[in-house]
Chain A
Amino acid sequence: MGGNSDMKLIDENGIRTDGRKVDELRPIKIEAGVLKNADGSAYVEVGKNKVLAAVYGPRECHPRHMQNPAKAIIQCRYNMISFSVSDRKRPGPDRRSVEISKLISEALDYVVFTENYPRTSIDVYIEVLQANAGTRCAGLTAAAVALADAGIPMRDIVPSVAVGKVNDTVVLDLNKEEDNYGQADLPIAMIPRTGEVLLMQMDGHLTKAEFDLAMEMGVKACKEIYEVQKDALRRRYAIVNGESEEEPMEEPKDEPMEEPMEEPKDEPEMTEED
């Protein structure tokens, strides 16, 4: 945050350095289920950001002392790969990534029905492959899709976006330059349906009026991202809807759950009643 920098980031027509309007998102692309070995995964591109998220679990929680007998714990690791930024990032967790991991896991903890899986852990891994400002938002956006892809019960899918202030103007979804030389940065994550805010941080200063405007822009953008997230999941499971019109398929629940075991013919004592 450069504070009062002379750098001109918005021109007279209200067009930003990358050609966007002040309330315009960067192009966003989401793909669900990209990793085979994880229970759920998602790949997200927001402008030049490239983020991969993988979810494992619910699985047995190790170490044992971290288990919670009442609910599942969400362990999140946000990590920036050494080549994700222009100066090589020293690998391994640092103060920033520990903070972001905590933030994201707390945001997800609120939305996941953790009480369904006591004593387990749900592990979320977020890898930033390429960073260009707003990776915590992209990471959370990806993690939410990955959780849904893993079939984990949750209240809703969480979209996340950053709003900021650049050249005394409130702008949506800051890019690298705006983040570095702007005046404020306000990442938010929310449940669009209810308006509940799951994550909010602020770097820099905003007046009350600017903050209200920023929130309004953020809420609108979250709804947009939410639709992209849902679309990604629908595409992933498209086969379900495709070609399903012509004929009803067997309802899985109709299957003889009471006698799930298929008996081998050589064991007459276990033969089915019917």
Chain B
Amino acid sequence: MNNESFTRELVLPGDVLDAGTMKPGEGTYVDDGKIFAAMLGIKSVKSNFVNVIPLGGRYIPAPGDMIIGKVMDIGPSNWLIDIFSPYPAPLHVNEVPWRVEFGDTARYLGVGDTLLAKVLMVDETKRVQVTMKEQGLRKLQGGQIVEIAHSKVPRVIGKNGSMIQMIKTYTNCRIFIGQNGRIWMDGNMEDMAHAVQAIKMIDEGAQTLKLTERVKEFLESVYRKEE
């Protein structure tokens, strides 16, 4: 890991990132032998690749992503899932852990239901397919959903899951984070409110430092009061 990647430099579209020694990574483009930033974000250098880590933008599905979806529409042999992205994703009956008769789809998943799914494939025109046929993928019952920018998901998880683990231990909530920026949680009402607040804190302060400590302070202050 290159040391350079630690200097957190904000780049804007059109900024020169490198003049030729490195390779263009994500969020960049090449023109006239130079690498330019294609979007607003933070410059990062990783194994000779220059990337721009976006600060915002919509979630674009990639195969293998775990996501939290909402059922938008029901067809006779599939459901249309809103995956918090510009592209709706069909979920075919064959990609579901149950045996569903043709036309019987509504009995299993209704409009508005939330589910944990995985992106199966994405083609060139960004047609998405999702699957639930894998261990742990299921319909999410009860609980609530928080939506944040998908670019901030890594921050909510934290290094090796430190951030989310901390929120979980303090609030005693069950939490799932989808790569698409949806977070599902279930627990008792008050705890959930605290967890939501902590997540909002991360969402707003994602670019700042010592976030983990501040969130910890916040959670500690809340739970000390209650004892």
Contacts and interface: CB of A to CB of B under 8 A. Distances in A.
B225 interface: no
Contact of B12 (A59, A113, A118, A157): A157
B141 interface: no
A40 B65 CA distance: 26
Contacts of B209: 243-244, 246-247, 249
A84 B174 CA distance: 52
Interface in B152-196: 153-155, 157-161, 164-165, 168, 174-179
Given A155-B38, A269-B135, A262 B13 contact: no
Contacts of B36: 155-156
Contact of A240 (B55, B126, B158): B55
A2 interface: no
Given A119-B126, A154-B38, A261 B207 contact: no
B136 A267 contact: yes
A264 B174 contact: yes
A96 B27 CA distance: 36
B46 A253 contact: yes
A260 B42 CA distance: 21
B212 to A, nearest CB: 8
Interface stretch (A127-135, A145-153, A161-169, A180-188): A145-153
A49 interface: no
B12 A233 contact: yes
Contacts of A240: 8, 10, 42, 55, 207
B80 to A, nearest CB: 11
A51 B207 CA distance: 29
A50 to B, nearest CB: 24
B40 A148 contact: yes
Contacts of A241: 8-10
Given A149-B40, A240-B42, A246-B209, A252 B56 contact: no
A60 B86 contact: yes
Contact of A239 (B13, B27, B126, B208): B208
A39, A70, A255, A264 pick with most chain B CB within 10 angstroms: A255
A214 B168 CA distance: 63
A115 to B, nearest CB: 10
A69 interface: yes
Contacts of B46: 253
Contact of A151 (B29, B41, B157, B168): B41
Given A150-B57, A151-B55, A234-B10, A255 B40 contact: no
A260 B177 contact: yes
A256 B160 contact: yes
Interface in B19-69: 27, 29, 31, 36, 38-42, 44, 46, 51, 53-58, 60, 65-66
Interface in B67-86: 86
B221 interface: no
A118 to B, nearest CB: 5
Contacts of B9: 241
B5 interface: yes
Contacts of B53: 252-253
B110 interface: no
A239 B55 CA distance: 12
Interface in A51-104: 57-60, 69-70
Interface residues of A, number: 60
Interface in A101-139: 113, 116-120
B6 interface: yes
A119 to B, nearest CB: 6
Contact of A113 (B14, B38, B177, B211): B38
A262 B207 contact: no
B63 to A, nearest CB: 13
A121 to B, nearest CB: 8
Nearest to B57: A151
A257 B205 contact: no
Contacts of A208: none
A266 B9 CA distance: 41
B13 A156 contact: yes
Interface in B81-110: 86-88
B135 A40 contact: no
A260 B65 contact: yes
Contacts of A117: 60, 86, 126
Given A150-B56, A154-B38, 10 more contacts: A59-B86, A119-B125, A120-B126, A149-B56, A230-B12, A246-B209, A248-B8, A255-B159, A260-B179, A262-B168
6 contacts: A113-B29, A118-B125, A149-B40, A255-B155, A260-B178, A260-B179
